[in-house]
Amino acid sequence: MRVFISLGIVAQRGIIYSMVTVYGIPNCDSVKKARDWLAVHQVAYVFHDFKKQGASQDLLAHWTTTTGWERVLNRQGQTWRKLDVAEQASVGDAA
């Protein structure tokens, strides 16, 4: 599973706040490690659970534009492994 961490800057009443958002699936080992690291270093964050909350088209478009679809797509996950070879091969064509 890929872990995506976003840092947002919010200004309110002249004070600048940073807000960290962790995107992922809660039972993923990489997500667990990221969340543990943030907790140990006392970094406040919001967790966005893909399974419960999904991901917007705009967010996915932003990630694929800035990092490339190859980095966004998890080719090691169970869902990917369940696809047949033809479906896996068509992914590059669709992007």
Catalytic residue positions, numbered: 28
Closest C-alpha to 29, from 74, 81, 84: 74
Instruction: Find, among 45, 46, 50, 43, the residue nearest to 72 by Cα.
Output: 50
Q: How many other CB atoms sit within 10 Å of the CB of residue 13?
A: 4
